[in-house]
Structure 1
Amino acid sequence: MLDNISIKTKLISLSIIISLSFVLILFIELLSINKISEIENIGTQINKLEIQQLELRKNEKDFLSRKDLKYLEKFNENISNIQKISSTLDTNFDLFDLDKTKLNNYNTIIKDYSTIFTKIVNLQQKIGLKEDNGLYGSLRNSVHLVQEFAKKSNDNYLLATVYDLRKQEKDFMLRLDEKYVENFNKIIIKLEKDEKYKEIIPLISSYKTDFLNLVTSEKEKGFNENSGMMKEMRDIVHKCAKSQEILTTGISQKIVELHDKIVFYSYSIIIIIALFIIIALLYISRVINKSLSTFQEGLGEFFAFLNNETKNINLLDDKNDNEFGNMSKIINSNIIKVQENIIKDKALIDDATKVANDIKDGHLSSRIVTNSNSNELNELKNVINLMLENLSSNINNILEVLKNYSNYDYTKRVNTKLVKGDILELCENINQVGNTITKMLVDSKTIGLNLQNSAHILVDNVKFLTQNANTTAASLEETAAAVEEITSTIAKNSQNINEMSQYSKNVISALKTGEELANRTTTSMDEINAQVIAINESITLIDQIAFQTNILSLNAAVEAATAGEAGRGFAVVAAEVRNLASRSAEVAREIKILVENATSKANIGKEIASNMIEGYATLNSNIQNTVNLINSVSTASKEQQIGMEQINSSINQLDQQTQEIATISSTTQQIAQETNNIAIEIVKNSDEKEFDGKNSIKIQEKR
């Protein structure tokens, strides 16, 4: 069926099929790349989701440690980003028909996380973000009222009790342990039962209420990560991390499956298209090759007849309607005509062959004498004979010019006034050869002179380049040494920062020890205060005894005076007893003054110890922040060290390349010198020949 279709139509059809196949393959590749890009976008969104989740954890930790609402805003902003990413993933899941159960579960956990964190923030606002607001502020105001009242009362016991309450309060706020709340309640109950302190009971009750409200809120929030809302949030965080891991693992597996599936289908379709193209090419090539082989065999037989290789000739197969069939018909009609004329013309051709052989041997005087039945051949014979006459004359003229050329004289030219046709073209070509050789020699000498001039400049420039390369290599070596020294300094700084971090840890340990000693000092001051009160009571008793003794001595003196001489000795004793009572009273007053001073000093010491405890807490926080800063500086210093090591490596590599450039420059200088020698040889060789314009060549100026 395809035999009657033209070759042009077959080739156009084959080109269209191949073009459409490549377009289809390109479309499939673009579609596959687009799908793979969309699949990889899912993995990118999952990574963004993980980053936003880590940001949530960071903002949560920052708020709990710094009590600043700006971290709640950042937390909510990250939640909004997670929702946007989840919305994008939801769309991509619909696009690839993926199961959204894990994604929906993750979104639910994120909402729970946001809810519980918001509750904790609200509760912390209720408790107080700073010492002067919320429950902290109320408690502080109540404490100041109670403490001022106790100081104004000049009651050491009441003041000691208030300080004890403050101690339990501070211990609870510092350690978040309910045993300090129990101790606080016991002290309050004992104070409330004492009828002596009815006036301070309302202030104490307000103090107690504010403190217990703070305890309740702290308990609701959670004393640690294993209680209250903090435990609930930790559980949700763990669920969130687990859900993130499950989602990431599932999506990664699904992405790999989708990617492999797309690649498989793409390659399968491309292989099918490629096989189809190969089959079409083979089939059409086979049909064309078959027709071409048939035509080639027939044409071969015809040329064999023309070349006298055979006496018989067969007509070509011309039954097909394609290009080969049409050519076969035309050739068959000409075969018949040629076969008739060949025999008639053979005699003339034989004679022409003989003449041609004579001319081939160099005998230009030989001529064709045989006639043919073909007017064209007879005319050809006459033309050939006339051509031979003119050719012989022109050849002699040409040989004379070529002889001059062989002697390197290119100033002569062939005379073309009486020459026409191919001989004219031959003569003109020989003249053109002379002109071309002349131009070539002019160009050769010009190029040689310019090359000689350029070679001098190149030698100077390469010499300058070599000097600069060597200087640059030396500078790079000095730079590399300086960078190595800087790298060593950075490494030493990093080591010093690590030692500073260790010293900070030692300071924190010493700080905790000092805080414990301050607490023990406060306890000792309370015990000293109790002992001073007991001593004060004993002094009061001594004072009373001295007063009673003084009265008894006065009575004894009165009785001794009444007794006269008999009571004189008793009067002396009574006087001594009165003197002893006076001294006892005076000593008691002095001891009382000393005890009161000791009590005042003990109270001052207790207040100083409390201030020390608060100072230790603040110092502990500041030292912890300093440790964090030192750790950040240590990390940055390590990154700096890595960067300097990379710079050092790059400079060493640049140093090696510069040294290679210096070596290449030295080699180039040698090549430039050799080029200069070649230019001198070219100019010398050109000067040895004769040609027009030889002595008018100028060197082009270099700018």
Structure 2
Amino acid sequence: MKWDSIKSRLLLMTMLCVLGMGLMTVNQHYFGQKLSALNADNVALQQLQTDLLQLRRHEKDFLLRHNNRYLQRFREQQVTFTASINTLDKVIQQYQLPATLVGDIASDTELYVRYFYQLADLMRVYGLNSATGISGDLRELSMKLNSSSVRLPKDLIHLPGQIVYLAADFQLTFDETTQSTLLALLSSLITNDRVPADYKLLLQEFREKFNQLVATKKKIGFSEQQGLRGLFREQAHRVEDNLAKLDAALQPVLVEHKQQATLYSTAIALLTSVALILLLIRSFATFHRSFANFVLFFYRCKRQYQRIDPKQLGFSEFRLLAALANEMVESRRQIERRLEKLEAASAANGGVAPKHI
């Protein structure tokens, strides 16, 4: 098969089209799988952030409502969140992200959970409501102080009520001035000789229980930034920041693979198009040259033999031209055969060439 023929050109163009489409299909399949895996990892990371938000929601519900039901929900969600963190190692290794991110997330999560459980234990010791824990004990002692205050001298009978009020006020405001005033008032009553001994024992027990309440509340934290409340919230913010960093590190990888898929697809399409255009241009030039030679050939036939009848037009003229062309081709073949015979005879006679053909 000649490469300059129309059939070979059509076959070549077909092969180029099939090759280009095949390369684009392979490219789309390859990057499609990569992008699908990246998207799945991105969705898993987003789910991890959602799990952390749900974990913090149960934490805040427990701190606000003081209900053990939310603590149990926190435990269940914490198991799910920890299991999801363990799957991040594969993502880190696959996309060559900073390995410290997963370690930081795991360690900060462990500290966050540990501090929260310690806080929950201290809150149960302190009292989840006014009837439990140290708060409940202090409430019972307050009732005993009020009920037994009738045995005090008249000028001191109002002081137990003031003590109970200051204790309740401190549990709401956690004001240091209130605390110091209450302790000073308790000390003055305990050292007063006119107060009965059994009532002094009750006051001392109240003071000890109040000091326990203050110490426990100090460990918990008088505000959200102090004590265990501040520690576990700080750890929770670190976990959130590390998850945000991991997401920020994964997004460029996703964008890069999308750009690579687009670039390779565009390059394959452009190269295939350029090859087809060049082949078409060459084919058109070949066709134009062949057609020009064809017309010139018949024009020479007409000039050489002068056998065409001027009155014959259309198809008859081309048929006559074809007959003349066949005669010229046959005449050329005869000349070639005669040349071959003469060359053979010359070779047989010792290389003496004939003078005439």
TM-score where L is the length of structure 2: 0.72
Structure 1 residue identity aligned to 2:70: Y
Q: Which residue of 2 aligns with 1:72?
A: 71
1:162 partnered with 2:160? yes
Please give the alpha-carbon distance, in whole angstroms, between the structure 2 residues aligned to 1:93 and 1:267: 30
Shift of 1:235: 2.8
Alignment of 1:118-517 (within 5 A): 118-151=117-150, 153=151, 155-157=153-155, 159-196=157-194, 197-276=196-275, 278=277, 285=283, 289=287, 293=291, 307-308=316-317, 313-315=324-326
CA 170–249 in structure 1, closer or farther in 2 if over 3 Å, else same: same
CA 100–94 in structure 1, closer or farther in 2 if over 3 Å, else same: same
Please give the alpha-carbon distance, in whole angstroms, between the structure 2 residues aligned to 1:84 and 1:317: 91
CA 187–42 in structure 1, closer or farther in 2 if over 3 Å, else same: same
Structure 1 residue identity aligned to 2:165: K
Q: Deviations over 1:503-547 (max 9, x none)?
A: xxxxxxxxxxxxxxxxxxxxxxxxxxxxxxxxxxxxxxxxxxxxx
Please give the alpha-carbon distance, in whole angstroms, between the structure 1 residues aligned to 2:170 and 2:230: 20
Structure 1 residue identity aligned to 2:326: L
Please give the alpha-carbon distance, in whole angstroms, between the structure 2 residues aligned to 1:3 and 1:287: 16
Please give the alpha-carbon distance, in whole angstroms, between the structure 2 residues aligned to 1:116 and 1:317: 106
Shift of 1:216: 0.6
Q: Is the 8 A contact 2:134 2:209 kept in 1?
A: yes
CA 77–263 in structure 1, closer or farther in 2 if over 3 Å, else same: farther
Q: Is the 8 A contact 1:298 1:316 kept in 2?
A: no
Shift of 1:67: 0.9
CA 259–10 in structure 1, closer or farther in 2 if over 3 Å, else same: closer
Q: Is the 8 A contact 1:298 1:314 kept in 2?
A: no
Q: Is the 8 A contact 2:4 2:286 kept in 1?
A: no
Please give the alpha-carbon distance, in whole angstroms, between the structure 1 residues aligned to 2:199 and 2:327: 137
Shift of 1:60: 2.8
Shift of 1:221: 0.6
Aligned residue for 1:313, secondary structure, equals helix
Shift of 1:313: 1.2
Aligned residue for 1:129, secondary structure, equals coil
Please give the alpha-carbon distance, in whole angstroms, between the structure 2 residues aligned to 1:9 and 1:87: 60
Shift of 1:7: 6.8
CA 201–40 in structure 1, closer or farther in 2 if over 3 Å, else same: same
Structure 1 residue identity aligned to 2:177: K
Structure 2 residue identity aligned to 1:132: A
Gaps of 5+ in 2: 309-314, 334-357
Please give the alpha-carbon distance, in whole angstroms, between the structure 2 residues aligned to 1:317 and 1:246: 85
CA 273–11 in structure 1, closer or farther in 2 if over 3 Å, else same: closer
Please give the alpha-carbon distance, in whole angstroms, between the structure 1 residues aligned to 2:327 and 2:187: 133
Structure 2 residue identity aligned to 1:163: G
Q: Deviations over 1:7-40 (max 9, x none)?
A: 7677556535533431221221232233233334
Q: Is the 8 A contact 2:59 2:70 kept in 1?
A: yes
Shift of 1:274: 4.3
Structure 1 residue identity aligned to 2:169: D
Point out the structure with max Rg over C-alpha.
1
Structure 2 residue identity aligned to 1:307: S
Q: Is the 8 A contact 2:112 2:233 kept in 1?
A: no
Shift of 1:211: 1.5
Structure 1 residue identity aligned to 2:316: N
Q: Which residue of 2 aligns with 1:116?
A: 115
Q: Deviations over 1:473-519 (max 9, x none)?
A: xxxxxxxxxxxxxxxxxxxxxxxxxxxxxxxxxxxxxxxxxxxxxxx
Please give the alpha-carbon distance, in whole angstroms, between the structure 1 residues aligned to 2:161 and 2:285: 114
Please give the alpha-carbon distance, in whole angstroms, between the structure 2 residues aligned to 1:106 and 1:22: 45
Shift of 1:87: 4.1
Please give the alpha-carbon distance, in whole angstroms, between the structure 1 residues aligned to 2:279 and 2:327: 28
Shift of 1:208: 1.8
Please give the alpha-carbon distance, in whole angstroms, between the structure 2 residues aligned to 1:107 and 1:317: 93
Q: Is the 8 A contact 2:298 2:325 kept in 1?
A: no
Shift of 1:176: 0.8
Please give the alpha-carbon distance, in whole angstroms, between the structure 2 residues aligned to 1:250 and 1:195: 73
Please give the alpha-carbon distance, in whole angstroms, between the structure 2 residues aligned to 1:136 and 1:294: 111
Q: Which residue of 1 aligns with 2:95?
A: 96
Gaps of 5+ in 1: 319-328, 333-703
Shift of 1:125: 1.3
Shift of 1:224: 0.8
Please give the alpha-carbon distance, in whole angstroms, between the structure 2 residues aligned to 1:186 and 1:262: 77
Shift of 1:218: 0.3
Shift of 1:215: 1.0
CA 316–217 in structure 1, closer or farther in 2 if over 3 Å, else same: farther
Structure 2 residue identity aligned to 1:180: T
CA 38–274 in structure 1, closer or farther in 2 if over 3 Å, else same: farther
Identity over aligned pairs, percent? 20
Shift of 1:249: 3.3
Aligned residue for 1:267, secondary structure, equals helix
Shift of 1:219: 0.7
Q: Deviations over 1:200-223 (max 9, x none)?
A: 233222222222111110011111
Q: Is the 8 A contact 2:149 2:157 kept in 1?
A: yes
Q: Which residue of 1 aligns with 2:2?
A: 3
Aligned residue for 2:325, secondary structure, equals coil
CA 208–92 in structure 1, closer or farther in 2 if over 3 Å, else same: same
CA 313–84 in structure 1, closer or farther in 2 if over 3 Å, else same: farther
Alignment of 1:52-71 (within 5 A): 52-71=51-70
CA 84–14 in structure 1, closer or farther in 2 if over 3 Å, else same: farther
Q: Larger deviation: 22-31 or 139-148?
A: 139-148
Please give the alpha-carbon distance, in whole angstroms, between the structure 1 residues aligned to 2:263 and 2:212: 68
Alignment of 1:555-574 (within 5 A): none
Please give the alpha-carbon distance, in whole angstroms, between the structure 2 residues aligned to 1:179 and 1:317: 128
Q: Deviations over 1:139-190 (max 9, x none)?
A: 2233333333334x37545542221221221121011123322222222222
Aligned residue for 2:198, secondary structure, equals coil
Structure 2 residue identity aligned to 1:113: Y
TM-score where L is the length of structure 1: 0.39
CA 316–49 in structure 1, closer or farther in 2 if over 3 Å, else same: farther
Q: Deviations over 1:250-295 (max 9, x none)?
A: 3334433343233323433443344455556666x46984897499
Shift of 1:240: 3.6
CA 110–267 in structure 1, closer or farther in 2 if over 3 Å, else same: farther
Q: Which residue of 2 aligns with 1:598?
A: none
